[in-house]
Amino acid sequence: MGKKRDKCDEGGGGCAPWMTTFSDLMSLLLTFFVLLLSMASLDQKKIKEALGSLKGALGVLEGGFKTEVSKNLVLPSVGIVPIRKLTMERVTQALTKYSRPGRGLSFKQSAGFLKQEGAQGPVSVRETKEGIVISLTGGFLFDAGSAKLKPSAKEALDKIIGVLKGVPFPIRVEGHTDDTKIRNPKYPTNWDLSVARAKAVLKYMLSKGMNPKRFAIAGYGPNKPLYPNDTPYHRALNRRVDLVVVMKNKEAEGETGPQIEIE
């Protein structure tokens, strides 16, 4: 007759087999998030390269896809840098040449008041609740009372187009004037001139291959000034064409025009 085994002799020590796999997975995840945190202080170029390599290792890249720094949506796709901030930085950098007085000879010659202290250049970029607004002064884009683009303005528009082609958001082209009454048989009112100027900018952007489905056009005449029409300098800034990249936050409500959140 066999000897009855004691319960304490059954042994079977150690954890369940699945616990080993689970522990390894938790260790890998912890290492991964520590790595992401450590990269937060690095420059964007290195982060892009690292994330591109990680995606390649995980097998989610397309065939033949290289982890180039120029792939500009790597960071926004993982939420490390908000796309609004990234777009703002790129537009501002591309237009640095035109953001200060003394840049853009045609604008300087047509507006001597640029000599005043604190004056800004013919192109400015600002952020509103609705998105990013790129303002180009009318004196930089057009001759007085005209809606024909100056050749010198097309260089700046080309730089803007180069950035906006990679941003998948709708764009509204807005024409604005000051409150000076216009005397022009071709454009009887400021409304007509503001629409014609917005249309001229839009046509040029479309001629460079931008998708027309992304665009809307508006002419406000003198009704949405950035500044009071009390000095020649303010009037010149109010005569402008705004390119509004609509990236409105979900929580943003109410009116959001060019007069909101002016820097």
State the average pLDDT over residues 198-205: 96
Query: Which of 81, 102, 120 represents a domain boundary (last residue)?
Result: 81
Phi-psi region of 257 (alpha: psi -120 to 50; beta: other; left: phi over 0): beta
Query: Which of 61, 81, 101 represents a domain boundary (last residue)?
Result: 81
Is pLDDT larger for residue 97 or for residue 177? 177
Same domain, 36 and 160: no
d(C-alpha 17, C-alpha 81), whole Å: 40
Q: Does residue 260 have a pLDDT over 50?
A: no
pLDDT of res. 256: 35
Asked if the structure places residue 3 within a domain, the reply is no
Same domain, 101 and 218: yes
239 is written with which tokens?
Answer: 């005569």
Same domain, 210 and 145: yes
Same domain, 33 and 140: no
Say which CATH number the domain at 185 has.
Answer: 3.30.1330.60
State the average pLDDT over residues 57-65: 50
63 — pLDDT class (breaks 50, 70, 90):
very low
Q: Does residue 246 have a pLDDT over 60?
A: yes
255 — pLDDT class (breaks 50, 70, 90):
very low
Same domain, 74 and 90: no
Same domain, 106 and 214: yes
The pLDDT tens digits for 67-120 are 444 444 444 444 444 777 888 788 877 777 776 654 443 444 344 434 443 456
Asked if the structure places residue 9 within a domain, the reply is no
Domain assignment of residue 33, given as a range: 17-81
State the average pLDDT over residues 213-220: 94
Strand 131-137 relative to strand 171-176: parallel, antiparallel, unpaired? unpaired
Same domain, 93 and 153: yes
d(C-alpha 160, C-alpha 154), whole Å: 10
119 is written with which tokens?
Answer: 């004056």
198 — pLDDT class (breaks 50, 70, 90):
very high
Total structural domains within the chain = 2
The pLDDT tens digits for 3-14 are 555 554 555 566
d(C-alpha 189, C-alpha 242), whole Å: 19
261 — pLDDT class (breaks 50, 70, 90):
very low
Query: 234 Cβ partners below 8 Å, 6+ apart?
Result: 178, 225, 226, 227, 228
End-to-end alpha carbon distance in the chain? 96
Same domain, 197 and 175: yes
Q: What is the mean pLDDT of the chain?
A: 74
Same domain, 55 and 121: no
Asked if the structure places residue 152 within a domain, the reply is yes
Contact between residue 228 and residue 234 where contact means Cβ atoms under 8 Å apart: yes
Which of these, 236, 237, 202, lies nearest to 219 by C-alpha position? 202
Asked if the structure places residue 196 within a domain, the reply is yes
Asked if the structure places residue 193 within a domain, the reply is yes
Mean pLDDT is lowest, of 78-87, 133-142, 250-259, for 250-259
* Cβ atoms < 10 Å from Cβ of 174: 24
pLDDT of res. 110: 42
Same domain, 121 and 40: no
Same domain, 72 and 119: no
* Cβ atoms < 10 Å from Cβ of 169: 16
State the average pLDDT over residues 6-31: 72
Same domain, 216 and 97: yes
Full-model pTM: 0.59
Asked if the structure places residue 30 within a domain, the reply is yes
Please identify which residue in the block is written with the tokens 């109010």: 238
Asked if the structure places residue 259 within a domain, the reply is no
Asked if the structure places residue 257 within a domain, the reply is no
Q: Is 260 exposed, middle or buried (0-12, 13-18, 19+ CB in 10 A)?
A: middle
Strand 171-176 relative to strand 123-127: parallel, antiparallel, unpaired? unpaired
127 — pLDDT class (breaks 50, 70, 90):
confident
